[in-house]
């Protein structure tokens, strides 16, 4: 019961911030800089092309930090900031992300790890399913997902 209460509180807190800011990305907000995309609103710099290799949570963290220069796995709020619901797919098109971000996979899975743990759990993390622009929880650390790094 306690876990359910923490989970509900976490979901409500997170969704309040998400829906307050999710109305599609403004084209002028994203700037292509070599092999990165800079978000002028948040100041974050993203990989333009994410890894195409699915990894467990520890592998995703190691991949990002292994890039050096301050690269890391984004938290859930950062990852949600690049969801663009004006690009929701028809399964034959791009996922719910601005086309400046090149797809990392052709299987339309598009599940990306965040570094944010789910409330009340030490082995489960939030993730974004870009195929639908959905925020999901209960990504067990052993599940395989993609990583898009940020700095």
* pTM strictly above 0.85: no
CA-based end-to-end distance of the chain? 37
Tokens 């990306």 identify what position?
112
Alpha-carbon distance 74 to 37, whole Å?
Answer: 14
Q: What is the pLDDT of residues 23-71, one digit of tens each?
A: 456 657 999 999 999 999 999 999 999 988 999 999 999 999 999 999 9
Using only C-alpha atoms, what is the Rg of the chain? 15
Asked whether the beta carbons of 111 and 145 are under 8 A apart, the reply is: yes
Tokens encoding 95: 């996922």
Please indicate whether residue 107 or residue 121 has the higher confidence score (pLDDT). 121
Mean pLDDT, all residues of the chain:
80
* Cβ pair 73, 113 in contact under 8 A: yes
Q: Is the pLDDT of residue 77 over 50?
A: yes
Residue 124, helix vs strand vs coil: strand
CB atoms within 10 A of CB 133: 20
Residue 99 has pLDDT above 90, yes or no: no
Q: What is the pLDDT of residues 9-34, one digit of tens each?
A: 344 444 444 443 444 566 579 999 99
Query: Would you state the pLDDT for residue 18?
Result: 44
Q: How far apart are CA 23 and CA 72, in angstroms?
A: 26
Q: How confident is the model at residue 105, as a pLDDT?
A: 55
Q: Is the pLDDT of residue 133 over 50?
A: yes
């Amino acid at each position: 019961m306690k876990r359910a209460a923490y989970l509900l509180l976490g979901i409500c807190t997170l969704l309040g911030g998400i829906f307050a800011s999710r109305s599609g990305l403004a084209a002028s907000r994203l700037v292509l800089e070599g092999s990165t995309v800079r978000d002028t609103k948040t100041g974050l710099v993203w990989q333009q092309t994410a890894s195409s290799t699915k990894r467990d949570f520890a592998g995703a963290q190691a991949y990002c930090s292994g890039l050096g220069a301050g690269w890391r796995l984004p938290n859930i709020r950062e990852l949600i900031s690049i969801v663009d619901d004006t690009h929701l797919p028809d399964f034959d098109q791009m996922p719910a992300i601005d086309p400046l971000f090149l797809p990392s996979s052709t299987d339309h899975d598009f599940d990306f790890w965040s570094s944010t743990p789910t409330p009340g759990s030490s082995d489960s993390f939030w993730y974004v399913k870009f195929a639908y622009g959905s925020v999901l929880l209960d990504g067990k650390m052993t599940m395989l997902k993609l990583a898009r790094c940020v700095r």
